[in-house]
Amino acid sequence: MTQDTTVPKLVTVIITTSPTPSAPSTELLSAVIKSFEEHCHALTLCNVIVVFDTFDQIVPTARLKKGQVTPQQAADFDEYKKNVKELILTKYRHVGAKFTQRRVTAEYGSPNPQNTVEYTISQTSDKKVTFIEPSRRLGFGLAVRSALRVTQTPFVWVQQHDWALVADLPMEPLVQIMKAYDSHLETPIKYICLAAIPHYLERVFPSRLAMLRGDFIEDKIGQRARAQMKEGLFTKWATWLYYPDDGKQLCLKHLQGRTWAGAERQADRAAMWRERNEAERAAQDDG
């Protein structure tokens, strides 16, 4: 069986996205999906869950990691979500599909009624495409957990909106390795870019206290995992790297989603700086 037939049965793609300077353009996600098409076509055939994390505050100067956006970014976000939905439905071949909706609650922190976030799950009847839209900002950690709770495959590919593949990825053998070594006593394998659902839920999200609203997995759990693995608790985390050519082969490229304003805006910005520099040089020559 080929990669395109085996991988979609075992892997769900989880895409997390949030306000960016390039919105309402979908340039970032379009680049990500194009990289799937070029380097791992099977990822375009998997079930896909998109989490549209929102913002907390509207402020004069954006701090996107803190959930703070400008008035223009806030205004652009609804249009951005509409554009992303159209992109996903087109690329994942579900244009015109009918959706069902339900409301769910994400809990975090101490068991206080205020420590919850309501969100909407919109899902096609065949569950191939799912959109999750929270009423308040979740943060990357809770966004991933919300998607995991509706995932029906044993493994997930968690994709942030500004990381693109730049090398071919042998997904099918990686999945087979994880299936074969999932319960190995000495060298279990539960995470190689892909992650096993039970591993994520049991290790990263064991309770509502494990991840607070706004937390990033790599900042919080990643530090804990690395410290414990240094102490010899490797089998607990079972985390491996796909490391082709002894690390010389670059596999991912960061698209700088927090600063990239889109091709048109970037060009306008460059033109503005050129004009400013030319004006300064002209003034110096006249002086």
Alpha-carbon distances, residue 16 vs 13, 80, 157, 287 (angstroms): 10, 13, 11, 53
Residue 173 tokens read as 């053998």
Q: Please state, as a whole number, how many other Cβ atoms lie within 10 Å of the Cβ of residue 92.
A: 20
d(CA 132, CA 150): 10
Assign 204 a pLDDT band (cuts: 50, 70, 90).
confident
pLDDT tier for residue 219 given thresholds of 50, 70 and 90: confident
pLDDT band at 133 (very low <50, low <70, confident <90, very high): very high
**Could you tell me the pLDDT band of residue 280, with boundaries at 50, 70 and 90?**
low
Cβ atoms of residues 157 and 196 within 8 Å: no
Which residue has better confidence, 202 or 43? 43
Instruction: Output the DSSP codes for 2-59.
Output: -HHHHHHHHEEEEEEE---TTTT--HHHHHHHHHHHHH-GGGGTSEEEEEE---SEE-
Please give the average per-residue pLDDT across 196-222, as a whole number. 86
Domain boundaries, the chain: 3-256, 262-287
Q: Give the distance from CA 25 to its chain's centroid.
A: 17
pLDDT category, 248, cuts 50, 70, 90?
Answer: confident
Cα–Cα distance measured from residue 252 to residue 250, given in angstroms and rounded to the nearest whole number: 6
Does 225 or 101 have the greater pLDDT score? 101
Angle, helices 140-148/217-230, rounded to nearest 10 degrees: 80
pLDDT confidence of residue 264: 64
Lowest mean pLDDT among 5-19, 163-177, 205-219: 205-219
CA 146 to chain CA centroid, nearest Å: 12
Average pLDDT over residues 36-43: 97
pLDDT at 84 over 60: yes
- Judge contact between 142 and 5, C-beta under 8 A: no
Per-residue pLDDT, averaged over 121-142, amounts to: 96
- Per cent of the chain over pLDDT 70 is 89
pLDDT at 278: 66
Determine the pLDDT at residue 184: 73
Q: Does residue 115 contact residue 108 with C-beta atoms inside 8 Å?
A: yes
Provide the β-strand partners of residue 252: 165
Q: How high is the pLDDT of residue 242?
A: 84
- The Cα 147–Cα 13 span in angstroms is 10
User: Where residue 236 falls among pLDDT bands split at 50, 70, 90?
Assistant: confident
Helix (H, G, I), strand (E, B) or coil at 162: coil
With CA atoms as reference, report the closest residue to 123 among 145, 143, 101, 146: 101
- Architecture of the domain spanning 3-256: Alpha-Beta Complex (3.90)
Q: What is the mean pLDDT of the chain?
A: 88
The pairs formed by 6-9 with CB atoms below 8 angstroms and a separation of 24 or more are 6/172, 6/175, 7/42, 7/43, 7/45, 7/46, 7/171, 7/172, 7/175, 8/42, 8/45, 8/46, 8/47, 9/153
| pLDDT at residue 263 in the model | 61
pLDDT at position 8 over 80: yes
Query: 226 versus 81: which is more confidently predicted?
Result: 81
Average pLDDT over residues 9-34: 96
Give the model's pLDDT for residue 238.
77
User: Of how many residues is the chain composed?
Assistant: 287
pLDDT at 1 over 60: no
Name the more confident of 272 and 156. 156
According to the model, what pLDDT value does residue 86 have? 97
* pLDDT given for residue 56 in this prediction: 93
Share of the chain above pLDDT 90, in %: 56
